[in-house]
């Protein structure tokens, strides 16, 4: 797959530099009007350029492996966004439960005996049910503890949204933040998996380990795989504007 063409299927990256000699190298007249050369794929696209300004401020298109990396990072950003929203909703639910705990407990104590005849017919030990035990534990939790749980969920959710923002914008700080924050919680996820194996926990652990390995190795974090120098060298490639500048140089 040509990832350059995949990105250009959404929109071409055309640019009109202020320098006339460079602008002439990127624009050709056609029967439909001026056509501008895409800085990513090199094809000429009829219509006005997407942006204009000094050549030094022209966007540098991502190509090849860098473009594939951007797709992976933004997929991770979407996953972090969904997780962050769910955590914030969970924090809100715990906070609401804290305020309505007494009313919930009264309803629970009133309605639980009504379920006993149905439980008897289904041969279900209602008193020892894990669900009932979970509800009783939640109802017995002190309001201060519920406040701490809601605050922890909210902070974790905001952290996930911050990671999502940095990854979606392809910022270096977002890569570092995601790698560190994800690695910190991996031991906890392993412990939870040892306690009880579920496909949700296994999937989350695999995604997080893969994300840390990808970020540290592929994005060259913490000096790995050449570090920042290799990262900058990989991002520096001859753009069409650089080639046009070299062609017009005396």
pLDDT tens digits for range 31-82: 888 999 888 888 899 999 988 888 878 877 777 778 788 889 999 999 999 9
Task: Check residues 137 and 173 and name the one with the higher pLDDT.
Answer: 173
Q: Specify the pLDDT at position 186.
A: 92
Output the pTM of the full model. Answer: 0.74
What number is the average pLDDT over the span 120-130?
71
What number is the average pLDDT over the span 9-38?
86
Q: Specify the pLDDT at position 133.
A: 72
| Two structure tokens written together for 25 | 């190298």
For residue 18, report the phi and psi dihedrals to the nearest 5 degrees: -70, -25
Q: What's the 3-state SS for the chain?
A: CCHHHHHHCCCCCEEEECCHHHHHHHEEEECCEEEEEECCCCCEEECCCCEEECHHHCCCCCCHHHHHHHHHHHHHHHHHHHHHHHHHHHHHHHHHHHHCHHHHHHHHHHHHHHHHHHHHHCCCCCCCCHHHHHHHHHHHCCHHHHHHHHHHHHHHHHHHHHHHHHHHCCCHHHHHHHHHHHHHHHHHHHHHHHHCCCHHHHHHHHHHHHHHHHHHHHCCHHHHHHHHHHHHHHHCCCCHHHHHHHHHCC
In tens, the pLDDT along 157-167 reads 999 999 999 99
In tens, the pLDDT along 108-122 reads 667 667 777 777 777
In tens, the pLDDT along 166-222 reads 999 999 999 999 999 999 999 988 988 888 888 888 988 998 999 999 999 989 999
In tens, the pLDDT along 206-240 reads 989 999 999 999 899 998 888 888 887 776 655 66
What is the C-alpha separation between 75 and 46, in angstroms, rounded?
31
């Amino acid at each position: 797959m040509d990832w350059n063409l995949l990105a250009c299927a959404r929109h071409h990256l055309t640019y009109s530099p202020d320098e006339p000699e460079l602008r002439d190298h990127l624009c050709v007249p056609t029967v439909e009007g001026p056509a501008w050369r895409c800085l990513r794929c090199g094809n000429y696209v009829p219509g006005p350029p997407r942006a204009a300004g000094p050549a030094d401020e022209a966007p540098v298109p991502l190509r090849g492996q860098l473009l594939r990396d951007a797709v992976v990072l933004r997929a991770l950003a979407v996953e972090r966004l969904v997780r962050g929203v769910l955590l914030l909703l969970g924090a809100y639910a715990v906070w609401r439960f804290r305020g309505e705990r007494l009313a919930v407990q009264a309803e629970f104590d009133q309605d639980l005996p009504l379920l006993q005849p149905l439980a008897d017919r289904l041969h279900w030990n209602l008193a020892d049910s894990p669900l009932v035990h979970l509800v009783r534990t939640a109802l017995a939790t002190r309001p201060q503890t519920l406040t701490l749980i809601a605050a922890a969920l909210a902070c974790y959710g905001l952290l996930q949204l911050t990671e999502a923002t940095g990854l979606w914008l392809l910022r270096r700080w977002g890569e570092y933040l995601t790698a560190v924050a994800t690695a910190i919680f991996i031991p906890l996820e392993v412990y939870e998996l040892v306690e009880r194996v579920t496909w949700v926990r296994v999937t989350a652990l695999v995604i997080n380990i893969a994300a840390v390995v990808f970020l540290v190795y592929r994005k060259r974090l913490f000096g790995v795989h050449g570090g920042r120098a290799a990262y900058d060298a990989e991002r520096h490639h001859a753009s069409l504007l650089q080639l046009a500048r070299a062609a017009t140089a005396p």
